[in-house]
Structure 1
């Protein structure tokens, strides 16, 4: 029995070491949500008065009061897609919660009521897109294309919900040049603005480190015109663009942003 247990242990160790540092298992054939919608940075809706910021929007009004996000889901979705969307909401709530057993939630998605002036309106459309933070009365749309990876891939739904909670893409941080290099020679013509970098004067990184493993980070070939990398990581062994779940730093960002640490 002892020999058998040692053999199993060695197999597990070898299996774990076969993945690059920070990498999570992902299907790399599925395109990033930000490459489909055709909006700002691919999957972001902008208001006329938007001030570009980095990880989190600074103004208090961008945060949902008490971390409660009212929502409605279009009747266009069938039961399967609706269940997938709600499942992603509940998972995001649980993994960000400080104590899910006692329902000590940091953020909460709740069906809108007649009294809710601000809410997200989840609708079918082309690709996956969202506004950043709480911005519009009367319902701000979150687009999740039916019968697509926008709905089927749980972390893609959570990616859009993180935008709605107030977060921009990771690689727009002001300190990104210490961690990545953008190769504009490989970027599609007209898509260069998707790699904008914002200064510390207008961005809020929440004093958290750069996160290669963030669900909000572009992949290495995002918006590539030739299949070659548009983002080169300073650490060659890291994996970027994972769409499996929130990273540990993603979770900490939401907790800090909503003051529930």
Structure 2
């Protein structure tokens, strides 16, 4: 388990950087995101594709994605590791962890159109779900094996655990402590117009996809607590039992 200090988030596409906040439609709902270095950044480490955003609402289909087109066909993630990526072993170790605990398999890309490129970045970030084309996992020098496991979680279709639709039954979001302009990072995936589903009947605070209690704090006070007001620790050691069960439900 790891304890995180105020102003610290577990994964960030561009640590310490902020960008222009923009609004667009994803499916049938308006969303807010930041543009940093030409990339559309959502919830700090999720990179949105340009084709996913529009100026008008589009008909929508429900912390995993449900649309079959968002899931990797045959449970195979095709990948390329950029030769300039420092410490590529962390990628191999993270993929091995996923293969040891789920039915997801990783195969080096040959000619496949849909694949993920692990490349050097300023921080830790990824696209969510299968896009059918080139997509990225960006890993800065400070991104650990555990951070890479988290980003692969996004790749296979997992959202952040705190965005579950039923999360208010289990945790409290303290909006008064959230830094101005970052409140959208605490919206549920449904409120943001994304498809997904909640596995099980309670939030998994041990999930490798869980935010920490001080993420995006403006005043050193917790932004997320248990319903009784107590704090919790997050971990980046590996997939939790419920993470594994969620992925197996997505990829039976």
Could you tell me the TM-score, scaled by structure 2's length? 0.78
Whole-Å Cα distance in 2 between the matches of residues 241 and 184 of structure 1? 20
Are the counterparts in 2 of residues 144 and 157 from structure 1 also a CA contact under 8 Å? yes
> Do structure 1's residue 140 and structure 2's residue 116 form an aligned pair?
no
Which of 132, 142, 154 is equivalent to 1:163?
A: 154
Asked if structure 1 preserves the Cα contact closer than 8 Å seen for 2:163 and 2:188, the reply is: yes
- Given the alignment of the two structures, is residue 91 of structure 1 paired with residue 97 of structure 2, yes or no? yes
Residues 53 and 231 of structure 1: is their aligned pair in 2 closer, same or farther, counting only changes over 3 Å?
Answer: farther
Q: CA deviation at 1:237?
A: 5.7
Task: Say which one has the larger Rg.
Answer: 1
Asked whether the equivalents of residues 9 and 216 of structure 2 are also in contact (C-alpha less than 8 Å), the reply is no
* Unaligned residue ranges in structure 2 (runs of 5+): 19-40
TM-score normalized with structure 1 length:
0.76
CA RMSD of aligned residues (A): 2.4
Q: Which has the higher strand share?
A: 2
Mapped partners of 1:128, 1:74: distance in 2: 15
Note if 1:71 corresponds to 2:106.
no
Q: Which has the higher helix share?
A: 1
Q: Deviation per CA, 1:23-60: give whole Å up to 9, x if none.
A: xx326467410474562000001123269996111210
Change in Cα spacing, 1:205 to 1:174, as seen in structure 2 (3 Å) is: same
Deviations for 1:85-143, whole angstroms, at most 9, x for unmatched residues?
A: 111111121122xxxxxxxxx111111012x1100011111111111100141x10110
Give the CA deviation at 1:206. 3.6
Q: How many correspondences in the alignment? A: 218
CA distance in 1, matches of 2:62, 2:46: 13
How do 1:1-261 and structure 2 match up within 5 A? Answer: 25-26=1-2, 28=4, 31-34=9-12, 36=14, 39-47=41-49, 48-49=51-52, 55-78=63-86, 81-96=87-102, 106-114=103-111, 116-137=112-133, 139-145=134-140, 147-148=141-142, 150=143, 153-199=144-190, 202-207=195-200, 209-235=202-228, 239-259=232-252
Judge conservation of contact 1:186–1:225 (CA < 8 Å) in 2: yes
**Where do 5+ consecutive residues of structure 1 fail to align?**
1-24, 97-105
CA shift in 2, pair 1:238/1:228, >3 Å:
closer
